């Protein structure tokens, strides 16, 4: 199987949808944009970019790509999740700044 490198990652946390990412498969040079990472009860899975459509009054999705074999799909998922972990660990830690609440003036207090 090819190597997977995460190029972009954006946390969404909308229901089961944890994040969306962009990965590159090398040496193919194939980039998959809009790859979704879902999470529920400690289990994670991927959702390929898909066409959203209406069917019988309900929203449905038709994926542009799919894995033909479950074992390949599981292996690909593991590689993508490992690549996203590597990507996130390489990101600089966010800088946090703390500014204390300004002191109240006597005229600001109602008592």
* CATH for 41: 3.30.1120
According to DSSP, residue 28 is labeled T
Does a structural domain hold residue 26? yes
Does a structural domain hold residue 104? no
- Verify cis geometry, omega within 30 degrees of 0, for the bond prior to 10: no
Does a structural domain hold residue 46? yes
Which band of pLDDT confidence, cut at 50, 70 and 90, is reported for residue 95?
A: confident
In total, how many domains does the chain have? 1
Range of the domain at 55: 3-90
Which band of pLDDT confidence, cut at 50, 70 and 90, is reported for residue 13?
A: very high
On whether the CB atoms of residues 44 and 81 are closer than 8 A, the answer is yes
Query: Structure pTM?
Result: 0.78
């Amino acid at each position: 199987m090819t190597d997977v490198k995460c190029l972009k990652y954006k946390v969404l946390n909308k229901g089961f949808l944890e994040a969306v990412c962009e990965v590159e498969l090398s040496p193919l040079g194939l980039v998959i944009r809009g790859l979704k990472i879902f999470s529920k009860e400690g289990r994670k899975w991927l959702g390929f970019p898909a066409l959203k459509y209406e069917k019988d009054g309900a929203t449905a999705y038709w994926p542009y790509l799919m894995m033909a074999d479950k074992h390949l799909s599981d292996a690909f998922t593991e590689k993508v999740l490992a690549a996203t972990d590597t990507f996130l660990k390489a990101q600089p830690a966010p800088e946090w700044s703390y500014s204390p609440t300004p002191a109240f003036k006597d005229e600001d207090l109602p008592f």
